[in-house]
Structure 1
Amino acid sequence: MKDTLQAGLEQTLKYRVPRERTVPFLYPESDHFRIMPEVFATGYLVGFIEWACMEALAPHLEEGERTVGTMINVTHEAATPVGMEVTATVRCVEVDGKRTVWAVEARDEVDVIGRGTHERFVINYDKFTQRVATKGKK
């Protein structure tokens, strides 16, 4: 990781919610999910927040580095219907070696829909995928 990464770094990401990112599509093999309303799913909200953090981190990574999420503590406070735009704002609050901590907030066009914290670690992509491949063979 480059030494350009500092606490205080902020990133905003916008996304218009398609039908395929609603609750019934999260695990379509589950009857419990399929019968739910078509609103932005918590699982996709988490991914959206991670995406915003990855965008913020990308310019500060060395060749061959990626980041992985290791902790998420986020509320989901309001439902967002299909077609509405959501915005994630993430701010780096701590850099500790390869570990970063982010204050996160997501809003739709009307409400704050989620907020909390997210932790990410910088990894070497090749070493990480080798470990996962080895694990998969066991």
Structure 2
Amino acid sequence: MKPIPTGTRFAFDYTVQPGVTVPALYADTFPEFAQMPGVLATGLMVTLIEGCCQRAILPFLDWPREGSLGVHVDFSHLAPTPPGMTVHVTAEVVAVNGRRVVFRAEAFDAVECISRGTHERMVVDYERFARKAADKARAAGLAA
């Protein structure tokens, strides 16, 4: 990992697809979701913001050996966004403490701000992390 400067920014646009709306999620587990409005689901909005943060620091990592994982999210979902609208996401590095990187992020659709908040990611060695996950799966009797 190279030093990650505070102030590092990244932005991207995403057009909301029907498959990322609330009714499209977990229909087998939560049938009541099918009755909800067809708007961008909060969890998938958070995923968009996480992806933007991840891309912001990618040039400073030894990719693909090294990457980052989300360890904390604190976002408000302020307004609905229907399919077909484009969401513009921005992220800025506001603090770095060793391998922990803190971001401030926002998301807007064509009409208004739909989210703002903070996110933390931890820079990790993916192979080492995958070994820990495999060890845990074996301990739980899920893998050979």
TM-score, normalised relative to structure 2:
0.92
Aligned residues: 137
- In structure 1, what is the equivalent of residue 54 of structure 2? 54
Q: CA deviation at 1:62?
A: 1.4
SS at match of 2:10: strand
Paired residue for 2:39? 39
The answer on whether the counterparts of 1:26 and 1:43 sit within 8 Å (CA) in structure 2 is no
Whether contact under 8 Å (1:95, 1:101) holds in the other structure is yes
| Offset from partner CA, 1:52-82 (integer Å, 9 cap, x none) | 0111111110141010000000000000011
Alignment of 1:84-99 (within 5 A): 84-99=85-100
Identity of aligned residues (%): 40
Q: Check if 1:102 corresponds to 2:103.
A: yes
Structure 1: distance between partners of 2:75 and 2:95: 17
What is the distance in 2 between the residues matched to 1:31 and 1:109?
30
**Partner in structure 2 of residue 71 of structure 1:** 72
Amino acid of the structure 2 residue aligned with 1:113? I
> What residue number does 1:7 align with?
6
Give the root-mean-square deviation of aligned CA atoms. 0.8
Alignment deviations for residues 78-115 of structure 1 (CA, whole Å, 9 cap, x no partner): 00011000011101000111000000100001010000
State the SS of the aligned residue for 1:75: strand
Equivalents in 2 of 1:13, 1:59: separation in Å? 16
Q: Considering only CA atoms, is the larger Rg found in Structure 1 or Structure 2?
A: 2
Hey, what's the Cα distance between the residues in 2 that align with 1:26 and 1:95? 34
Q: Which SS does the other structure have where 1:93 is aligned? A: strand
Distance in 2 between the 1:68 and 1:26 partners? Answer: 23
